[in-house]
Structure formats: C-alpha cells, structure tokens
C-alpha cells in the first residue's frame, strides 16, 4: 500500500523528488520514533530544521543521512548505501565552509550516519566509531570550553557526549582498537562546555540518564582503560565515582505530568535513568575494583536492577542492559533478559538489540564454561566483544 504523504510542503524551501519525498514521509511516520536516543521530539525537530533551513551542502548531508535510515528500515540496502555515500560526500564537500551552522549541520549528519552504520549490518558496523570521532573533533572546534550552551547547541553537545561514552566502552573491550579512535575518546576538550551547559541532575533526552551519571560512567571507563596499560586505579578515584553514582539524583525536566500517557513515559524515563546508574555501579565494582559477582554490593545492585527490568516491556538502552545482563545468574533473571530482548526487537524493528543479544548469550556461555571464575571480568567481556571483525556497537 502506497504511503499517504504531503509532498514538498510549503515550509520546505525547495522541491524533493518523488522517491525522496516518499522516504522522508516514511521516516517521519514509521522510523523516527524507533531510533533509540534520537526519537525524542527535540532531536527530530532539530534534524528537520537543520535539514531544510537552507539548501547548503551541509544541510543536504543531514537529508541524505535521514533518507538512508528510512531506506534501511524498508530493507532497501542498495538504496540506503547509496544515500549514505551521498551524505558522506556532502559532509566532505562542506568542509570548505566553516560557519558555526555548517559545523553543527555536519555533526548532526555524522551522528545520523553513526546510527545508520550500526543498523546496516547485524554483525559488524566498521564505520560507526569513525563517525563519532568526526563529530567529536568537529565539536571541539565549535564549542568554547568556558561558554554555557542552550537550545540546539546544547542538544548537539549532549548527543556527541553520549555517543563518545558508548564508543569509549567499546574501545576498552575490543582487543584490536583503532589507535585513531583511542586518541579521539581520550581528548577531554569538551568537558568544560559540558559542565557549564547541563544541570548534572536532569535526565537528558538523548542520553537517557543525567549528565552527572553519564560523566561518572565515562570516567569509570577511563580509569579502567588506564588500568589496562598497567597503571593502578587510585582507590580515592573509585570511592569518589561510587559516591557520585550512589547518591546521584536524576530528575525529569517537566515535574507536573498529569495525563496517563505522559505519566507512563515519565516512569519509563526514570526507570531507564536508574538502570544507567545501577549499571555504572556494577561496572565500577566489577571492572574497577575487580570484585567477584557474589560480592554483597554487586548483588544488591543487580537485584535492584532486575526489580526494574521485571517491570519493563522494552529496553532499548543497550549499554546498561548489557552490563546488567552479564550479571544474570538465575533462570528467572535470564528469562527476564530474554523476554526484554525479544519484545524490544519486536517493538523497534531492525535495531542494535540483535547484536547485543548475541553479546549477552556469548557472555553467559563463557560464564558457564568458567564456573570457577578463573577468567577475570574485563578479560571475559573483552573476549566476548572482540569476536567480530569490527568495534562492537552499543548505539
């Protein structure tokens, strides 16, 4: 059945071809709400305003990236790849323009391509981390460290920070990390702008948790990466991170939610944010302090996390879900995870939950083979996430 669309609405300053208009309509109606972390109305509004605010090369890059996502959800791989190549070419051609708007448009286009690359293949996504690195590098040139950002700029800054944290985790647990990506995630230039621009306690629309929790998780991963090269993690650093995560307050921006739909949405937001916090604490204990899964603190965090997961219908936030799932030890806990993986896949369609499902099953199998826990937690996680040919994606 053909889509009912409004081709070339009056607010678009130029005409789209029939195919492009069909794909754009399909993206709006059927795809945009399935993109985890990008389904928020603020993100979609930003994307369309920046896509159609002008006919610049950098704006066209966003449009092509959006059309590529629409095509991949229609299982038209050939057309999707063609649009992604046009988006990449547009980003490259736009590099001669250095206005703030052009830079921000390139970052948004690259972020859309990051999501596209992770959806293109259920097994490997070789280019996704490269796109994140491009976005971060461009952000460093665009965002002044001592300035406070609002509106679209703050949203883009949040988006970049969120993707960088996800890529940092993948880099830590992949045994063949690209050196360029390691260099990129270690650059700390955006920290000042982040600290100035966000309330550490507010749950963010893209990240799914507060910036305070996201940055604590990021710092924990950095400490674990430092330990990988032989440096001891200072106990005071882990203690400080534990306090930040343990006592974090995560609040929704809009406090008064009256109707049933928005109330349910608020409950889901709070649950997701809490899963991030608990996953951060679990990872800190297991990877930072190197404690066993039977540790009393770990068990409490795991039990609290499964109390939340038991009440969820779907869970598209793959990083906290993966960290928590690796601690599942009972049939009941594993059944909860498998139920969520199945319902999330059904709800979102072709998404990264398929890849993460494979990671979780591998970790469980390795745990069963290593009943005496001879293999360390980080080593086991790295073995699981390094079986593919490219950096594991959690976007």
Residue 274 lies in a domain: no
How far apart are the C-alpha atoms of 111 and 134, rounded to whole Å? 9
Average pLDDT over residues 20-44: 90
Instruction: Give residue 141's pLDDT.
Output: 86
User: Residue 145 and residue 176: Cα distance in Å, rounded?
Assistant: 32
Q: Please give the Cα distance from 5 to 263 (Å, whole number).
A: 31
- 153 within 8 A of 104, measured Cβ to Cβ: yes
- Is 226 among the domain residues? no
Tell me whether residue 391 is in a domain: no
pLDDT tens for 186-233 read 777 888 889 889 999 999 989 999 999 999 999 999 999 887 766 678
Token representation of residue 198: 């966000």
What is the band of 260 on the pLDDT scale with cuts at 50, 70, 90? very low
Nearest to 119 by CA among 35, 29, 37: 35
Q: Write down the pLDDT at residue 126.
A: 66
Q: How many percent of the chain have pLDDT more than 70?
A: 92
Question: ∠ CA(49), CA(109), CA(318), 5° rounding?
Answer: 105
The number of distinct structural domains making up the chain is 1
Q: Which domain holds residue 149?
A: 20-198
Q: How confident is the model at residue 262 (pLDDT cuts 50, 70, 90)?
A: low
What tokens appear for 237 in the block? 């650093």
Residue 210's SS3 state is strand
- Between CA 54 and CA 35 the distance in angstroms is 25
Is 94 within the bounds of a domain? Answer: yes
pLDDT at res. 72:
93
Please check whether residue 153 lies inside any domain of the structure.
Answer: yes
Residue 261 pLDDT class (50, 70, 90 cuts): low
Q: How many CB atoms lie within 10 A of CB 308?
A: 17
- Has residue 187 been placed in a domain? yes
100 Cβ contact partners less than 8 Å away, ≥ 6 residues apart: 142
Q: Does residue 178 lie within any of the structural domains?
A: yes
Q: Are 167 and 181 in contact (CB under 8 A)?
A: yes
For 39-64, what is the mean pLDDT? 92
State the DSSP code for 309: H
Is the pLDDT at 3 greater than 60, yes or no? no
- The answer to whether position 347 is within a domain reads no
Give 150-180 pLDDT, tens digit per residue. 999 999 999 999 999 999 999 999 988 887 7
């Amino acid at each position: 059945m053909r889509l009912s669309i409004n081709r070339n609405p009056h607010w678009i300053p130029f005409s789209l071809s029939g195919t492009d208009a069909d794909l754009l309509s399909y993206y709006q109606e059927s795809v945009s709400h399935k993109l985890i972390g990008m389904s928020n109305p603020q993100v979609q509004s930003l994307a369309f305003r920046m896509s159609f605010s002008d006919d610049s090369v950098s704006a066209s890059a966003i449009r092509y990236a959006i059309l590529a996502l629409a095509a991949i959800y229609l299982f038209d791989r050939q057309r999707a790849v063609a649009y992604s190549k046009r988006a990449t070419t547009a980003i490259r051609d736009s590099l001669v323009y250095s206005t703030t708007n052009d830079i921000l448009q390139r970052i948004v286009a690259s972020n859309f391509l990051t999501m596209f690359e992770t959806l293109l293949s259920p097994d490997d996504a070789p280019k996704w981390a490269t796109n994140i690195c491009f976005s971060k590098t461009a952000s460093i040139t665009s965002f002044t460290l001592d300035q406070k950002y609002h509106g679209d700029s703050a949203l883009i800054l949040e988006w970049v920070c969120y993707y960088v944290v996800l890529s940092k985790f993948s880099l830590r647990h992949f045994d063949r990390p690209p050196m360029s990506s390691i260099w990129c995630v270690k650059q700390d230039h955006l920290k000042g702008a982040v600290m100035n621009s966000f309330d550490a306690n507010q749950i963010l629309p893209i990240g799914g948790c507060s910036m305070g929790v996201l940055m604590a998780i990021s710092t924990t991963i950095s400490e674990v990466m430092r330990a990988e090269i032989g440096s001891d993690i200072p106990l005071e650093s882990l203690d400080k991170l534990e306090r930040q995560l343990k006592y974090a307050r995560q609040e929704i921006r809009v406090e008064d939610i009256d109707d049933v739909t928005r109330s349910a949405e608020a409950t889901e937001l709070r649950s997701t944010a809490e899963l991030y916090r608990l996953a951060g604490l679990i990872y800190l204990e297991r990877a930072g302090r190197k404690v066993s899964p039977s540790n009393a603190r770990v068990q409490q965090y795991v039990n609290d996390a499964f109390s939340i997961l038991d009440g969820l219908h779907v869970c598209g936030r793959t990083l906290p879900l993966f960290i928590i799932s690796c601690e599942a030890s009972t049939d009941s806990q594993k059944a909860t995870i498998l139920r969520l993986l199945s319902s999330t896949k059904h709800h979102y369609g072709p998404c990264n939950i398929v890849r993460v499902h494979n990671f979780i099953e591998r970790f469980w199998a390795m745990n069963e083979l290593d009943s005496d826990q001879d293999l360390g937690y980080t080593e086991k996680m790295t073995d699981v996430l390094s079986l593919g040919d490219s950096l594991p994606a959690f976007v």
